[in-house]
């Protein structure tokens, strides 16, 4: 199943900023770290549904890194945001946005320079997505984490008028684009999401025989196998 086939008119213009940083704020509750555009960062607008396969692969790889407890987790989150943007958490539910500086960054207008997301919730999204992916590989059971029992979301549309009406999907967040695209990819006849045989990285490649995320990993793996076989033969 191809997301472009299922949702041919999926066009989600999104904003990413060239650099992100963490700010820690305390409003009415405990101190929370938010991922926000860095001072001086440039605004870049693009269709985040256009390269959905790579977007999903990057999301899953970030989830894998976070789940194994990489010490560079926050930096990797900032790198992902600089490449794709923030998720737009909760945007489908029409939360009340405001420009009031006295409220947390997550309540500022979506994709504005002042908008930010709780780094904890940001990370949970990717880890749960990756855990769901592990269930499709048979490596994790649902009982291990009931939170990934299924993936669901809201999806609205509008029908244009005239002699050739079109069904236009109205998706309000990159979070939904990732969920929709991931669902289409893991239920398709030719899934392109793969796990590198050498380093374990999640990557996208539509070629059925692909086993490595890069030529470097393929060469490194072949050298390891050669050395292992040599030791066995000499032993």
Q: Give residue 219's pLDDT band: very low, low, confident or very high (50, 70, 90).
A: very high
Determine which helix (DSSP H) or strand (DSSP E) holds 47, and give its type and residue range.
strand 43-47
Contacts with 102 (C-beta within 8 Å, 6 or more apart), sequence order: 27
Asked if residue 93 lies in contact with residue 27, where contact means CB atoms within 8 angstroms, the answer is no
Q: Is the pLDDT of residue 83 over 60?
A: yes
* Tokens encoding 212: 């490595």
Q: What would the mean pLDDT of 97-101 be, rounded to a whole number? A: 81
Q: Give residue 213's pLDDT band: very low, low, confident or very high (50, 70, 90).
A: very high
Q: Give residue 71's pLDDT band: very low, low, confident or very high (50, 70, 90).
A: very high
* Measured distance CA(97)–CA(34) in Å, rounded: 16
Residue 87, judged by CB atoms within 10 A of its CB (0-12, 13-18, 19+), counts as buried
Lowest mean pLDDT among 4-8, 71-75, 104-108, 135-139: 4-8
Q: Give the per-residue pLDDT at 39.
A: 96
Q: Give residue 167's pLDDT band: very low, low, confident or very high (50, 70, 90).
A: confident
Q: Is the pLDDT of residue 1 over 60?
A: no
Q: Give the per-residue pLDDT at 77.
A: 98
Q: Is the pLDDT of residue 74 over 80?
A: yes
Q: Give residue 101's pLDDT band: very low, low, confident or very high (50, 70, 90).
A: confident
Contacts with 59 (C-beta within 8 Å, 6 or more apart), sequence order: 80, 126, 129, 178, 182
Q: Give residue 163's pLDDT band: very low, low, confident or very high (50, 70, 90).
A: very high
What digits encode the pLDDT tens for the residues 175-205? 999 999 999 899 887 778 999 999 999 999 9
Q: Give the per-residue pLDDT at 103.
A: 85
Which stretch, 27-31, 61-65, 220-224, has highest mean pLDDT? 61-65
Cα→Cα distances 171→85, 103, 111, 142, Å = 15, 26, 14, 28
* Tokens encoding 95: 């939360």
Determine which helix (DSSP H) or strand (DSSP E) holds 22, and give its type and residue range.
strand 20-25
Cα→Cα distances 226→47, 100, 232, Å = 45, 62, 10
Residue 86 neighbours by CB distance under 10 Å = 29
Q: Give the per-residue pLDDT at 102.
A: 80
* Measured distance CA(110)–CA(235) in Å, rounded: 63
Output 136 or 231, whichever has higher pLDDT: 136
What digits encode the pLDDT tens for the residues 115-162? 999 999 999 999 999 999 998 888 876 665 666 667 877 778 889 999
For helices 52-67 and 73-84, the axis angle rounded to 10 degrees is: 170
Q: Give the per-residue pLDDT at 30.
A: 79
Q: What would the mean pLDDT of 31-37 be, rounded to a whole number? A: 94
| DSSP one-letter string for 204-228 | E---TT---SSHHHHHHHHHHHHHH
């Amino acid at each position: 199943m191809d997301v472009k086939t299922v949702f041919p008119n999926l066009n989600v213009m999104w904003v990413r900023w060239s650099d992100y940083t963490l700010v820690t704020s305390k409003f009415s509750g405990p101190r929370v770290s938010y991922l926000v555009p860095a001072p001086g960062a440039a605004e870049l607008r693009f269709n985040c549904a256009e390269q959905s396969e790579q977007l999903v692969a990057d999301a899953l790889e970030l989830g894998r890194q976070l789940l194994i407890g990489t010490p560079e987790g926050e930096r990797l989150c900032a790198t992902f945001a600089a490449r794709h943007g923030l998720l737009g958490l909760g945007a489908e539910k029409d939360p009340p946005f405001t420009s009031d500086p006295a409220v947390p960054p997550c309540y500022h207008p979506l994709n504005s320079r002042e908008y930010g997301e709780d780094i904890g919730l940001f990370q949970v999204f990717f880890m749960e997505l990756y855990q769901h992916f592990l269930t499709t590989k048979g490596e994790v059971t649902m009982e291990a984490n009931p939170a990934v029992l299924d993936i669901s979301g809201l999806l609205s549309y509008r029908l244009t008028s005239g002699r050739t009406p079109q069904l236009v999907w109205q998706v309000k967040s990159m979070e939904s684009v990732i969920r929709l695209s991931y669902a289409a990819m893991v239920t398709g006849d030719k899934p392109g999401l793969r796990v590198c045989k050498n380093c374990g990285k999640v990557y996208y490649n539509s070629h059925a025989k692909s086993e490595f995320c890069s030529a470097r990993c393929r060469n490194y793996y072949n050298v390891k196998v050669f050395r292992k076989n040599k030791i066995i033969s000499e032993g």
